[in-house]
A and B are shown apart, each in its own frame.
Chain A
């Protein structure tokens, strides 16, 4: 089915472990985004990508690594997980052209707990 999917939906890990969250979209959108959602902060942008092999930092990038070798995939890696990275992570994609019609479509989220 067309859309944007995330895996896993739920993940429990331990401090110091590496974790990769996957995001896949079937629309061939050029832009993809990773947000985290925490109580009291709303959604905050971690990283985004304008195209394959082009990525840039968002508001809260520390402790995260991204890559985009294919247009449809945008994995987010926590190289050494910390308790402060316990959060709900949302991936989004969009055809962004710098216009008022721009929008983003959000995945279902991954709930990550770091013990």
Chain B
């Protein structure tokens, strides 16, 4: 059974810092891994999707990496801004299924 873990659960950093959010999963047979952003009381916004054959994806200040063999992904946020404050969710689509398994998220606060 696929399990997804995100560490840390919460993170508070000063503006301008580069930071890394971690996601680990137990079953390496995946179709893809996706990072989402969720603002308080809002829905999910897809940030980056990494296919199983890819090692990383980039979008602006965001870079996500995938190491299937070790069951890990990281989301790197460069030059953090107060507007980056949100909860970041990692979700894994396991091969042979149609169901995303979500981590419990990392709640990020960037201080001005």
Binds B, one of A17-25, A75-83, A93-101: A93-101
Tell me which residues across on chain B come within 8 A of A102, comparing CB atoms. Answer: 31-32, 93, 98
- Report the contact-size class of chain B (Cβ under 8 Å from the partner): 20 to 34
The minimal Cβ–Cβ distance linking A73 to chain B, given in whole angstroms, is: 19
B104→A40 contact, CB < 8 A: yes
A100→B31 contact, CB < 8 A: yes
Given known A-B contacts A42-B104, A43-B89, A103 and B46 have beta carbons under 8 A apart: yes
Within 8 A of B (CB), among A75-115: 90, 94, 96, 98-109, 111
B99→A90 contact, CB < 8 A: no
A33 nearest in chain B by CB position? B99
Task: Verify if A50 is at the interface (C-beta below 8 Å from B).
Answer: yes
Within 8 A of B (CB), among A4-42: 31, 33, 35, 40-42
Residues of B within 8 A of A (CB): 4, 31-32, 34, 36, 41-44, 46, 49, 51-53, 89, 91, 93, 95-96, 98-100, 102-105
* A-B contact list, 17 entries, CB within 8 Å: A35-B102, A41-B104, A42-B4, A42-B102, A42-B105, A43-B100, A90-B43, A96-B98, A98-B98, A100-B51, A100-B52, A100-B53, A104-B100, A107-B43, A108-B42, A108-B43, A111-B41
Residues of A within 8 A of B (CB): 31, 33, 35, 40-45, 48, 50, 58-59, 90, 94, 96, 98-109, 111
